[in-house]
Amino acid sequence: MSIIQASSPVDGRVLGDFEVSEAQAIAEKMVAGRLAGGSWGRMPIKVRASTLLPFSQLLMDNLDSICELIGLCTGKVRSEALLGEIYPLLDLLNYYQKHAGEILRYQGVPTSPFAFPGATAGIERRSFGVVAVISPWNYPFQLSVGPILTALFAGNAVIFKVSELCLPVGQLIVDLFGKLDLPSGLVQCIVGDAETGEQLIDAAPDLVFFTGGLHTGRAVMQRAARHPVPVILELGGKDPMLIFADAQLDRACSAALYGAFCNSGQVCVSVERLYVQKNIFDQFLAMLQTGAAQLKVGADPHGDLGAMTSAAQIDVVQAHYQDAINKGAQASGPLEKQGHFLKPVVLWNVHHGMRVMREESFGPLLPVMAFTDESEALRLANDSEFGLNASIWSSDIGLAKRVASHLNVGNWAINDVIKNIGHPGLPFGGVKQSGFGRYHGAEGLRNFTYPVSGLSNRSRLPKEPNWFPYNEQGYQNFKGYMDFVYSTGSFIQRFKRNRQALEAFREYSTFDLAQRWQNLKLMLTWKRGY
């Protein structure tokens, strides 16, 4: 039996010992999940929604204790836990309570009275079955509970794995869902590292939802392809922020500092590249340095930046900083480290040959670079293998929207930062190396289901026109039908040249072609007489 000991990045205190889930235990959880998911998925969406409704009040009743535990496990300050981990979940719950039934309802699809006489068609949404949710360490509560709730609204069971750096958060999630009136085995947790994640995928869930870095995302996709299991990948970013000279600079500066340094830069949509128009560059850089120097680092209630969660990520940040300095960058100060706490640093004289401008830093570094015009801003912003989020800052909303329409990203905001990804009605996800698939919004909920298409034919005729036997006359009749429906010319022209062929399908039609032709002739005669 293997044990993982959880400790806090804030002060190193031990938070508990957790038994690693073995392959056999995971397989047993999968069986239980399929059983629970079967009954849950057959429930009407209104029943599922009402069963999940009390979760909002559970969060509200336990805000302080949840924030405290999240802070101990991740190092983030209390306000960041409240606003970044819990508030978005309350909003998401509220959105799906109101709209899930409409989003997942049966969708009728029109049918042609010629091709499908007497038939109706439509699409229903069905739950996958068991969804595996693998979540990261930067937002272990929100990025676990959000997809869990989405999967549950869609009618699935869930087996989730939080990062081994945040195991107490996983237990908290189990305890919270345990207070709802859910089928036994509907929400289950496993404990372990990357190997355990592989075993979860090898247990062949029906869908894998993964949030994390690019390297691990590739490994998840490769593992899932063995079975095969569909995946939704929410990966990293190198998000650009573009500030034009006519922007409201005070607001833009505050946004840049927040966008780059909230949660110590450990946000997939952090501002990791800041581009400022050349004629305001020096002024704006001075504003950034002044603002960064005023930020407080520490775990006390007045801290702005908490601890870095992962020691390995601190090494990445230090490597990016040193690479930039070695290649000529200037910095607002040294990268000061005390335990897991890092002081935020602004970098300039940077270029795209530096790691800090190309790789995800995921830490409190803000590289700033100048651009001359709209064209160069777009070229620089799109010069990245990532495409997650972006923000554009200008008083000219038309210009900003034009720039946004040419950015290779899955999401964007104008004169705001990061907040757009928390909108529960907007689907969130990336392009390029930032992953694929979406969650949040109607599209996100549908992604946790699959479409089933159906057609019902109420015809009492002995056969359909396309059934056997084939003959030359039938071939010519079908050519005429296709010419009538798809070729050029007015309706009258197409009807005239194909009347004989269409008459051959009269018995299959829901209306009388001959009578329609007579009505058409009467109308034309009346128009000529008039």
> Which CATH fold topology does 27-235+443-452 show?
Aldehyde Dehydrogenase; Chain A, domain 1 (3.40.605)
Identify the pLDDT of residue 507. 76
The predicted-structure confidence for 309-368, as pLDDT tens digits, reads as follows 999 999 999 999 999 999 999 999 999 999 999 999 999 999 999 999 999 999 999 999
CA atoms of 16 and 128, how far apart (whole Å)? 34
Q: Where in the chain is the domain with CATH 3.40.605.10?
A: 27-235+443-452
List the structure tokens of 507.
């018995």
**Of the options 2.60.40.10, 3.40.640.10, 3.90.580.10, 3.40.309.10, the CATH number for the domain spanning 239-420:** 3.40.309.10
- Number of Cβ atoms within 10 Å of the Cβ of 472: 7
- Which residue(s) pair with 210 in the sheet? 134, 233
The predicted-structure confidence for 155-198, as pLDDT tens digits, reads as follows 999 999 999 999 999 999 999 999 999 999 999 999 999 999 99
Identify the pLDDT of residue 505. 82
Identify the pLDDT of residue 381. 98
Q: Where in the chain is the domain with CATH 3.40.309.10?
A: 239-420
DSSP 276-310: EEGGGHHHHHHHHHHHHHT--BSSSTT-SB---S-
The predicted-structure confidence for 139-161, as pLDDT tens digits, reads as follows 999 999 999 999 999 999 999 99
DSSP 307-345: --S-HHHHHHHHHHHHHHHHTT-EESS---EETTEE--E
What is the full per-residue pLDDT of the chain (530 aa) written as tens digits? 899 999 999 999 999 999 999 999 999 999 999 999 999 999 999 999 999 999 999 999 999 999 999 999 999 999 999 999 999 999 999 999 999 999 999 999 998 876 787 889 999 999 999 999 999 999 999 999 999 999 999 999 999 999 999 999 999 999 999 999 999 999 999 999 999 999 999 999 999 999 999 999 999 999 999 999 999 999 999 999 999 999 999 999 999 999 999 999 999 999 999 999 999 999 999 999 999 999 999 988 889 999 999 999 999 999 999 999 999 999 999 999 999 999 999 999 999 999 999 999 999 999 999 999 999 999 999 999 999 999 999 999 999 999 999 999 999 999 999 999 999 999 999 999 999 999 999 999 999 999 999 999 988 888 888 899 999 999 999 999 999 989 999 999 999 999 999 888 877 765 445 455 555 555 555 545 44
CA atoms of 209 and 220, how far apart (whole Å)? 10
Identify the pLDDT of residue 529. 45
Active site residue 234: yes
The catalytically annotated residue of 80, 85, 198, 234 is: 234
Give buried/exposed letters for 67-78 (b at 16+ CB in 10 A, else e). Answer: bebbbbbbbbbb
